[in-house]
Structures are given as structure tokens and as C-alpha cells.
């Protein structure tokens, strides 16, 4: 019985139908006996929509309030996903970055994870639940919501896998591996055939 962290990006959960499809895939994996922590991004395009809304008010939104706003994208996804899993007759529990005890520094918009208290996740796994965690977010020492910047959900998944000493970390995305930079933006991005948790965390930060 393996402990597996899975991460699904915004395209994978971009519609209700896709959320249902991923939920079915996760439930089937759960039925095979694996203990699953699922990290989700916001639905494709939602983060940009939220950012544009803030910029309609001001070109320079307050960083703290912007993080509060942007974090809602992932919270919507984890709630919808957990609803889908429960509709299939299985137990799921959604956790925000705060509820998952993901501690970060206070650099809004580009925060770095420095600690994760694993107890809330382990407690739910021990109850047989699929744990669904909002990617891209955490909270600082003052209790403020923070976001991790672009690619932050991948960072969340790798950090959780390391903290939980997971057997596997599976990242489902629209590129075929880990690259030195975003291959959708930079055509000279180089694919990395093998990488450790520590190296991945260093790159993501």
C-alpha cells in the first residue's frame, strides 16, 4: 500500500467533466489500495481571470489582498473535486494551504515553503480518505494567505511528497517531464531525465 502524491494541472481539471474524469481515475487508484494525496491547480484560465479583475480596479493591487483573491481559484477546484469523489461513494477531504499547514515566508506572490506540518493530512489518510490539497498556496507566520508564484502547485506537490516521505510523486501536466524552465515559453528548455525531491524543490524555488 503506497503513499502517493498526485498533482493535476489546470487543464486536467478545466471543466466539470474533466474534474469528474480525474476523480474517477483517483478513486480507481484508491480502490487498488494506495493512500492518495491529490494536489490541484485552479481550473484553466481562472487565475488569470481573477488577476484581471483585480487589475480592473488598479494596475498595482495590494500584494496581500491579491494573494487572498488568487488562492480562491484552487479552493474552488478542491471543493468541486471532493464533491465529485463523494458522489462516487468514497470519502474525500479538501484542505486549503492553511488547513494543510503549509508554512511559507511572507513574500506575497512568490512565497517559499519552509515547513509542512503533516498531521492533518496523515489523520485524514488514516481514516481512509482521499486528501485533496489546494496547490499554489500556504500561509505565513502572521496567518496571512500566501501564493507561491507560477508553477506553485508543482512545488506544493513535491514539498508534500518530501514531507510525507511519499513512495511516489506523480505530476500530470501538459508537458512530458521536468524541464529546466517552462518549455511552453522558452524553446531552449532542457528536459531533465531524473531528479531528486531536494533538487526539484531547489528548482521550484
User: Could you give all domains of the chain from N- to C-terminal order, each with its CATH number?
Assistant: 3-204 (3.40.1160.10)
Question: What is the overall mean pLDDT for the chain?
Answer: 93
pTM above 0.75, yes or no: yes
List, for residues 195-204, the tens digit of each pLDDT value: 765 666 565 5
Q: What is the mean pLDDT of residues 124-142?
A: 98
* DSSP characters over 8-59: E-TTTTSSHHHHHHHHHHHHHHHHTT-EEEEEEPPPTTHHHHHHHHHHHH-S
CA–CA–CA angle 189, 195, 201 (5° rounding): 85
Question: Lowest-confidence range among 29-43, 75-89, 176-190?
Answer: 176-190
Amino acid at each position: 500500500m503506497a503513499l502517493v502524491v498526485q498533482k493535476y494541472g489546470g487543464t486536467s481539471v478545466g471543466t466539470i467533466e474533466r474534474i469528474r474524469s480525474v476523480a474517477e481515475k483517483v478513486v480507481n487508484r484508491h480502490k487498488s489500495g494506495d493512500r492518495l494525496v491529490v494536489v490541484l491547480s485552479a481550473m484553466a484560465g481562472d487565475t488569470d481571470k481573477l488577476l484581471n479583475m483585480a487589475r480592473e480596479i488598479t494596475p498595482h493591487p495590494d500584494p496581500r489582498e491579491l494573494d487572498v483573491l488568487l488562492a480562491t481559484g484552487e479552493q474552488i477546484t478542491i471543493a468541486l473535486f471532493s464533491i465529485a469523489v463523494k458522489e462516487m461513494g468514497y470519502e474525500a477531504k479538501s484542505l486549503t494551504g492553511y488547513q494543510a499547514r503549509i508554512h511559507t515566508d511572507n513574500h506575497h506572490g512568490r512565497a517559499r515553503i519552509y515547513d509542512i506540518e503533516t498531521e492533518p493530512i496523515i489523520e485524514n489518510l488514516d481514516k481512509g480518505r482521499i486528501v485533496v490539497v489546494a496547490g499554489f498556496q500556504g500561509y505565513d507566520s502572521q496567518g496571512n494567505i500566501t501564493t507561491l508564484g507560477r508553477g506553485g502547485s508543482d512545488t506544493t506537490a513535491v514539498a508534500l511528497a518530501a514531507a510525507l516521505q511519499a513512495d511516489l510523486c506523480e505530476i500530470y501536466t501538459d508537458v512530458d517531464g521536468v524541464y529546466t524552465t517552462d518549455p511552453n515559453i522558452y524553446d531552449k528548455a532542457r528536459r531533465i531525465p531524473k531528479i531528486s525531491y531536494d533538487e526539484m524543490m531547489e528548482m521550484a524555488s
